[in-house]
Every structure is written in C-alpha cells, then in structure tokens.
Structure 1
Amino acid sequence: MKFCSECGHRVEKRVAADDPIPRFRCTHCHYVHYQNPKILVSCYATWEDKVLWIRRGTEPFKGKWAAPSGFMEENETLVEAAARELYEETRARVDMDKMSLHMVGNLTQMNQVYIVFHAPLLSPEFATTPEAEEARLLTLDEFPFDDFAFPEVVENVSLFYRDIQNQHFNVYLGTLKNGVNQVIQNDDSHLHRL
C-alpha cells in the first residue's frame, strides 16, 4: 500500500503508541488502514460415501484436484458463501439446512482463515465450469492424493473420509504454518478435536 484511500496522501507502515502491530497510517489525515485476514470457504458436498471434487480450471494449480472453494463476499453468511462457491464452480446444490462445520483452518502465511463445511448434495447432479474443468464424486479409494493441488492439507481430506466411513462427523481446528499442517481434533485420540 502506498497511498491513503481516504485522502490520497502517502502512507507509512509503522507502530503507534496505542497499537503494537505495524499498520499503514496516512501521513496527512492519520487514517489507519487495517489489513485483516480474508475468509476462505469451502463445502465438502457428499453423495453416499463420495465427495465432490474439482480439477481446477484456473490458476493457481490449474489441472490439479481440489475442493470447490473461494472467498466470502460482503453481506453473506459463511454457509451462504460456501454454498454459493460450490454452485458457482460445479452447479451442484446442497441442503443448506444440513450444512455442518468440518474444519477451521488458520492459513497464517497467506493471511487467511479457511472454513470448511460439509453437506449432502440434493442430487448427484453437477457440471464443469470455467473454474472446474472436471468435477467428480470420488470415494476415498478413488481420491487423487498424488494429484491434489494442496498436499499440505491432505490430512484434512483423510479425516473427512474417515468421518464418512464412521458416520460420525467431527469438527477440527488446523494451522498451516511454514508449510506444515497441524490438525487438532475434539476427542482424546492422538489428535484433539474441537
């Protein structure tokens, strides 16, 4: 950031006495420009023991497999955002009343918070779009782990398939820091769930 969006003068990134975090501050009107994490949402849409995945049609990682996802817009809830992103990328619809939280991920290096839901598809109907050159319902055995766009979060994918098999869905907290994914569960197993 170089210029103030309030008055057009130059900004400087500095610490102020009332705030220990360096922030862009206007040198003229003294407006403080806060830069906060963006919220990235996704929905693991299911049909029986299968999950709907896409082969990305856009960069980054064009041609690799991923979950339909995107950024939350103004004036929408997390659930609405996840359902919208799923529909925009696959034309699939889920039962929003049955949408449940699966994971909250801290993507600290990217300054993002990743919220993953899961919900059953209303029907096994979906399509390709400019954002998804291919869309498929896949079981765990069919999942392309070697061709996944984000290998640092495959543990999350495995946990979700395990939850499908157990028919018991947990909520997880994860942090991706320095390329290493740390997942916390909410039970007394080797990981801790929320």
Structure 2
Amino acid sequence: MNFCSNCGNSKLEYIIPEGDQKQRFVCNECDTIHYQNPRVIAGCLPIYDGKILLGKRAIEPRYGYWNLPAGFLENGETPNDGALRELYEETHAKGEAKHLHTVFSLPNYNQVYLIYLVALSSDQFSKVTSESIDVELFEIKDIPWDAIAFESTTFAIKKYIENPTNKEANIGHLIKEQLH
C-alpha cells in the first residue's frame, strides 16, 4: 500500500495497532487503520437431471479449463444472488439455489468461496458466452477431472458425488506452503 485511501498521505506504517493482533497499514496523518480482508467468491454447482453444468473459462487465470460458475461477490449483493448472477453470466442458464453446498477457503490467496447447489430450471444454456468458450452438461462419469480449473471446483463436485442429498455445507480449504 503506497497511499492512504482516506487522506492520500504516503506516510504509512506497517504496524500492529493498539488492541489488534495483526500487522496493518496505518496512516500517520489521519490515523486510519487499513484492514485488508478476504474477497468473497459466490458460485454454484448447477444440476439438471443428475448432470453437472460446467463452463470452460474464456478468461485468465486458467483459460481453457472447466469450472463451476463463480465470481467475486458485488457490493450490495447476497451470496445467493451473486451465485445465480454468475450462473447466468457464464452459461446463460437459470435455476434456483437450493442451499449452501460448499465453503472453501484459500488463505494464501485471501479468498473464500461460497458455492450453492442450484437446480437448473431447464437444460437451456448457451454453448459460448463472454466468460466461457464452451458450456456443457456432464454426466458424473464424464467429468473432465484433469482439466478442472480450481481445487474449489474439484472439492465441491466430489462432495456432491459422495452424497448428493446432503443439505449441510461442506467445508474445505487449500493451504499452500509459502517459500521463504
């Protein structure tokens, strides 16, 4: 962080503020403490007639790999609404969110995924969208495991396969060792 977003001052210190336990950027001019918190990703595991809808990414990272529809939650949006928005943006499909299926955290990347199980309204979707170079409904046996974009998608799909009627959220995380 180079400048205070409150006053524009460049005199920031990276210290543990009084009463806190973590180092934070603190402005010496206006005493603003700058908290940097994880970003929330809202997504869904869309199901139609026992098949899972995946999109092949048209954007980086992981261009050309298959993924569940997901993206950053917008301000003023509920995670449920964000998941359904992402479903439509990436596949042009519509559905109903049944329940929270997965909470998957990536502490090294400051991200938390909230993935909802979604019952698709129909088998209607676009094969290509601005965010997907291909969209396909996969039978469980045909899921392209070697071409899945992210561990969060793999985890969510595997948990669904293990117990498709489970209504409790599956909790997972991926922590990568940092090189020093």
TM-score, scaled relative to structure 1: 0.85
TM-aligned CA deviation for residue 47 of structure 1: 0.4
Amino acid across the alignment from 1:67: L
TM-aligned CA deviation for residue 169 of structure 1: 4.2
Amino acid across the alignment from 2:123: P
TM-aligned CA deviation for residue 92 of structure 1: 0.6
Distance 1:174 1:168, change over 3 A: closer
**Corresponding residue number in structure 1 for 2:61:** 60
User: Gapped runs of 5+ residues in structure 1?
Assistant: 180-194
**Corresponding residue number in structure 1 for 2:101:** 102
**Corresponding residue number in structure 2 for 1:49:** 50
Task: Please give the residue correspondences for 1:1-194 in structure 2 after superposition, counting only pairs within 5 Å.
Answer: 1-10=1-10, 11-96=12-97, 99-127=98-126, 128-151=128-151, 154-164=154-164, 167-178=165-176
Amino acid across the alignment from 2:45: Y
User: Gapped runs of 5+ residues in structure 2?
Assistant: none
User: Aligned equivalents of 2:21 and 2:118: distance in 1?
Assistant: 41
Amino acid across the alignment from 2:89: E
Distance 1:2 1:138, change over 3 A: same
User: Aligned equivalents of 1:160 and 1:75: distance in 2?
Assistant: 29
TM-aligned CA deviation for residue 161 of structure 1: 2.2
Provide Cα deviations, 1:97-142, integer angstroms capped at 9, x if missing partner: xx21111112111111111101111111111212100000001111
TM-aligned CA deviation for residue 20 of structure 1: 1.8
TM-aligned CA deviation for residue 163 of structure 1: 2.5
Pairwise CA RMSD: 1.5
Contact kept? 2:155, 2:172, Cα under 8 Å: no
User: Aligned equivalents of 1:25 and 1:16: distance in 2?
Assistant: 8
TM-aligned CA deviation for residue 46 of structure 1: 0.6
TM-aligned CA deviation for residue 27 of structure 1: 1.6
Other structure's SS at 1:13 match? strand
Contact kept? 2:113, 2:152, Cα under 8 Å: no
Contact kept? 1:163, 1:169, Cα under 8 Å: no
Contact kept? 2:45, 2:157, Cα under 8 Å: no
Other structure's SS at 2:16 match? strand
